[in-house]
């Protein structure tokens, strides 16, 4: 019995280690509405992605020129969403090229 | 014969009276139908509040007075022959009526002079947004060799030697030196007083249903309708601008003037320019960043055309429009209703 208990404990620990090492990347959603992002700041993990959804009746263009992640999701109209993934830790300033007052921060951590 | 037989002076008077009464009733109905319906709660998004001002440059009468003098003073230019008002002329809607501005030594510049009307509400400055504030923008033409080509340090010293200016600066910015900083602040404080929010449209929003006629009101509906004019996609409430940047097809893919792309290297910004406000738009022809269109009817025709014959890089916000001839006429009449009442402007005597 003692041996089988130890075996089970070891197995549980192994499962925990494996689970931690294969963190399932998440997809976060950010809405663009009323010329504003739905959140001012978003904390994500490396490997996560963010889906930017345009709910305004006009075009937006999400982009970042930050060192940690430079991307341009292009012009996207009403109802269209664009996704970007983050593969490096850092602070990323996200803007809309069309409407410079639309700004948010994506904080990517390990 | 029977009718003649029934004629009498009394019945004739009665008929005349009835005719007059019915004509008056018809005219009253017609007059009512000439005016727009009353503004609704939803329309109130267009009401323009009092202009904002930055905490470090609150508007005061002495700052505005100083700024007005500086604005009209050609001694600010390197040549001594050009003031802010040379291009931002109050007689021409605070612009210059030219396709593109004329700078120092008669040099024709690349872009149109934007009006200063309602810039108090802007969050973006210059056609490409390269300036961060009205104060920052005020210095731009002075620092440009192609425009006023001012020697800022020398000019500050020169202003300090003018007794009248020394007193005005002391009153406006006590304890602060005459410098680029205080010159820019004073001009910006003055510019924040050039506000238009008493147009026929604004009076209609305030409850005067007779301020807009039916045609102007129909034009307002066309302006807002996403299938018809869709103008509101960019010229949004309350100041008829989204403070945004769009390629409206004038410079396909940034061919020629790259516009906003020079400031922000994002592909869609090639050939994109800031959305101008529309209050007092009738006073600031010609239109667009290069003054390409002579009047508002041409602008409306252009948007109808470019929505169909699309060019590379055109903003997706510009859609094919479903406009009848009547819609276009109504739209132009609405834009005319965004004008403030015409009035003279008294230029100041300059300090000596």
3-class SS of residue B9: helix
The phi, psi pair for A95, rounded to 5°, reads -135, 165
Strands, DSSP E only, in chain A? 27-32, 41-45, 49-54, 62-65, 70-72, 81-85, 90-96, 103-109
In Å, how far are B4, B11, B14, B15, B34 from B20, measured between CA atoms?
Answer: 22, 14, 10, 8, 21
pLDDT digits (tens, 9 = 90+) for B19-56: 454 544 444 444 445 899 999 999 999 999 999 999 99
Helix spans in B44-126 (H): 61-71, 84-87
Cβ(B247)–Cβ(B259) below 8 Å: yes
A81-85: strand order across its sheet: A27-32, A49-54, A81-85
Is residue B301 very low, low, confident or very high in pLDDT (cuts 50, 70, 90)? very high
Distance, CA of B74 to chain centre: 24
Indicate the residue of B243, B266, B316 with minimum beta-carbon distance to A99: B243
Task: Provide the pLDDT confidence category of residue A8 given band limits of 50, 70 and 90.
Answer: low
Strand partners, A39: none
Q: What are the start-end ranges of the E strands in B209-250?
A: 245-246
pLDDT at B194: 97
> Which is the catalytic residue, given B65, B147, B304, B312?
B147
How many CB atoms lie under 10 A from the CB of residue B163?
A: 10
Query: To 5 degrees, how large is the angle CA B188–CA B72–CA B76?
Result: 85
With a cut of 70, say whether residue A7 has pLDDT above it.
no
Q: Where are the domains of chain A?
A: 25-109
Q: What is d(CA B241, CA B278) in angstroms, rounded to the nearest whole number?
A: 8
Q: Flag whether pLDDT at B109 surpasses 80.
A: yes
Dump pLDDT digits (tens) for B307-333.
999 999 999 999 999 999 999 999 999
CB within 8 Å: B244 and A100 = yes
pLDDT tier at B239, thresholds 50, 70, 90: very high
Interchain pair B267, A58: CB under 8 A: no
* CA separation for the pair B105, B214 (Å, rounded): 49
The pLDDT, as a whole number, for residue A3 is: 54
Q: Which of residues 109-128 of B touch A (CB under 8 A)?
A: 123-124
Query: Is B135 in the active site?
Result: no
Q: 3-class DSSP state for residue A50?
A: strand
Find, among A21, A38, A25, A110, the residue nearest to A68 by Cα.
A110
ipTM given for this complex: 0.83
Residue of A nearest to B270 (CA): A97
Which CATH fold topology does A25-109 show? Immunoglobulin-like (2.60.40)
Interchain contact, A59 vs B129, CB within 8 Å: no
DSSP code for B231:
G
Tell me the CA distances in angstroms from B198 to B37, B134, B201, one per residue in order.
19, 22, 8
Residue A42: both structure tokens together = 């978003």
Closest by Cβ to A72, choosing from B266, B316, B317: B266
Residue B254 banded pLDDT, cuts 50, 70, 90 = confident
Interface of A with B (CB under 8 A): 35, 57-59, 61, 63, 65, 72, 74-77, 97-101
Q: Do residues B228 and B323 touch, judged by C-beta distance below 8 A?
A: yes
User: pTM of the entire structure?
Assistant: 0.87
Query: CB contact, 8 Å: B226 with chain A?
Result: yes
Statement: residue A17 has pLDDT above 80: no
Q: Given A57, A58, A61, which is nearest B268 (Cβ)?
A: A61
Decide: B351 and B163 in contact? Cβ < 8 Å: yes
Decide if B226 and A65 are in contact by the 8 Å CB cutoff.
Answer: no
| Higher per-residue pLDDT: B162 or B7 | B162
Least confident among A23-27, B188-192, B243-247, B276-280:
A23-27
Look at A57 and B233 and tell me if their CB atoms are within 8 Å: yes
- Which of A36, A100, A102, A103 has the highest number of chain B CBs within 10 A, making it the mutation to test binding with B? A100
């Amino acid at each position: 019995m003692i041996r089988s208990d130890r075996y089970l404990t070891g197995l549980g620990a192994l499962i925990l280690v494996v689970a931690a090492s294969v963190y399932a990347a998440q997809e976060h959603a950010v809405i663009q509405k009323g010329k504003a992002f739905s959140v001012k700041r978003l904390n994500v993990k490396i490997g996560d992605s963010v889906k930017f959804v345009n709910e305004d009746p006009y075009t937006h263009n999400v982009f970042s020129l930050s060192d940690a992640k430079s991307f341009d999701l292009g012009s996207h109209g009403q109802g269209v969403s664009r996704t970007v993934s983050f593969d490096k830790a850092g602070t990323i300033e996200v803007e809309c090229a069309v409407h410079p007052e639309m700004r948010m921060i994506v904080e990517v951590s390990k | 014969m029977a009718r003649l037989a029934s004629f009498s002076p009394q019945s004739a008077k009665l008929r005349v009276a009835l005719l007059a009464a019915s004509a008056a009733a018809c005219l009253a109905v017609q007059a009512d139908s000439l005016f727009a319906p009353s503004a609704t709660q939803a329309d109130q998004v267009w009401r323009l509040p009092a202009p904002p001002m930055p905490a470090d440059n609150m508007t005061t009468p002495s700052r505005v007075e100083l700024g007005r003098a500086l604005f009209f003073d050609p001694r600010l230019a390197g040549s001594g022959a050009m003031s802010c008002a040379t291009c931002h002329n109050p007689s021409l809607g605070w612009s210059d009526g030219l396709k593109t501005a004329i700078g120092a030594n008669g040099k024709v510049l690349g872009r149109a002079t934007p009006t200063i009307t309602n810039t108090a509400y802007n969050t973006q400055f210059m056609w490409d947004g390269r300036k961060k504030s009205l104060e920052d923008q005020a210095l731009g033409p002075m620092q440009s060799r192609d425009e006023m080509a001012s020697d800022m340090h020398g000019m500050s010293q020169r202003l300090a030697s003018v007794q009248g200016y020394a007193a005005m600066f002391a009153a406006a910015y006590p304890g602060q030196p005459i410098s680029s900083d205080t010159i820019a602040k004073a001009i910006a404080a003055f510019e924040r007083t050039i506000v238009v929010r008493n147009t026929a449209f604004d009076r209609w929003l305030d409850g005067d249903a007779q301020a807009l006629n039916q045609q102007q009101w129909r034009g307002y509906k066309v302006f807002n309708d996403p299938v018809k004019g869709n103008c509101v996609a960019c010229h949004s409430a309350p100041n008829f601008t989204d403070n945004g940047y769009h390629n409206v097809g004038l410079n396909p893919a940034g061919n020629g003037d790259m516009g906003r792309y020079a400031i922000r290297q994002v592909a869609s910004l090639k050939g994109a320019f800031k959305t101008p406000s529309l209050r007092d738009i009738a006073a600031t022809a010609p239109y667009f960043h290069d003054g390409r269109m002579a009047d508002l009817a041409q602008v409306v025709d252009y948007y109808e055309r470019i929505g169909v014959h699309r060019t590379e890089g055109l903003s997706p916000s510009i859609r094919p429009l479903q406009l009848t001839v009547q819609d276009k006429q109504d739209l132009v009449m609405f834009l005319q209703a965004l004008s403030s009442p015409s009035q003279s402007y008294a230029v100041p005597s300059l300090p000596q």
